């Protein structure tokens, strides 16, 4: 076999292997996306891996091939959502070295609201698991909640000392913030019927960011005022976002 023919054959084999790998990753992502919704709606006990496989359009043995069992699937869902958020949160803080604590808190809280808008089913899943003590709740607390709260509550205390954040126990306030940030998205269908507006719309997300930050940050534009954003507040938010990405 000539060198040129061997090179062409080898490249073809590599391309086929890459396509197979890409299909496998796409299938895995599709299963995780479906499983997230099922776990959010039915909880761990009420979720069937056979139903997940059917909804994802794959054979049940393929699901087991990727995740072994329902426990493995559940953990993969947590890693793809909560774990990914925690990694992003830590990278965000690492990129804000030298920035004052109040600004750090404001930016990571805004990030949290936007994450809630993008992943409403994750917060529904978290609510499912938080209703009773279980090994899953212990796993979530150890791997996600405690590491996140340890850093956020520290920022809240610093913002309180600076007179920029509402007073109260930082853990309590963070739970209040999570409720305010996420509820509008987990109740999206009801909110749309009541208001005629989709919470996931870009304009409503911007208003929601400003409303939530205004509830907790004493110096946030519009704090204690109308929840409508107004041109000045929108400009301020956009300016802060540009500064954060520099």
Question: What interhelical angle do 120-129 and 170-186 show, nearest 10?
Answer: 120
- Give dist(CA 182, CA 163) in Å, integer: 26
Q: Percent of the chain, pLDDT > 70?
A: 81
Q: Where are the beta strands (DSSP E) in the chain?
A: none
Q: Report yes or no: 63 and 87 within 8 Å, Cβ to Cβ.
A: no
> What pLDDT, in 10s, does the model give residues 92-148?
999 999 999 999 999 999 999 999 999 999 999 999 999 889 999 999 999 999 999
- Residue 204: CB partners within 8 Å, gap ≥ 6? 197, 198
pLDDT in tens, 135-185: 999 999 999 999 999 999 999 999 999 999 999 999 999 999 999 999 999
Predicted confidence at residue 225, as pLDDT, reads 41
Q: Answer yes or no: is pLDDT of 191 > 80.
A: yes
DSSP bridge partners of 217: 165
CATH numbers and ranges of domains, the chain: 1-70 (1.10.10.60), 99-245 (1.10.357.10)
Q: What is the pLDDT of residue 17?
A: 55
């Amino acid at each position: 076999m000539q060198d040129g023919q061997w090179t062409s054959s080898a490249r073809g084999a590599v391309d086929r292997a890459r396509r197979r790998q890409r299909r496998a990753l796409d299938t895995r992502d599709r299963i995780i996306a479906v499983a997230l919704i099922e776990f959010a709606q039915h909880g761990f006990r009420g979720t069937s891996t056979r139903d997940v496989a059917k909804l994802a359009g794959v054979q049940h043995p393929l699901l087991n091939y990727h995740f072994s069992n329902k426990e493995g699937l559940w953990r993969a869902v947590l890693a793809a959502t909560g774990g990914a958020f925690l990694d992003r949160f830590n990278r965000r803080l690492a990129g804000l070295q030298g920035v004052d604590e109040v600004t750090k808190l404001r930016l990571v809280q805004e990030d949290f609201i936007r994450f809630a808008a993008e992943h409403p089913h994750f917060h529904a899943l978290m609510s499912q698991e938080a209703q009773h003590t279980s090994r899953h709740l212990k796993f979530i607390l150890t791997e996600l909640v405690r590491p996140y709260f340890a850093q956020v509550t520290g920022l809240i205390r610093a913002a309180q000392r600076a007179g920029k954040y509402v007073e109260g126990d930082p853990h309590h306030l963070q739970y209040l913030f999570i409720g305010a940030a996420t509820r509008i998205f987990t109740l999206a269908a009801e909110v749309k019927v009541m208001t005629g507006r989709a919470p996931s719309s870009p304009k409503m997300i911007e208003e929601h960011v400003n409303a939530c930050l205004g509830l907790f940050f004493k110096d946030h534009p519009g704090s204690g005022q109308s929840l409508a954003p107004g041109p000045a507040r929108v400009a301020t938010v956009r300016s802060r976002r540009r500064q954060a990405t520099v």
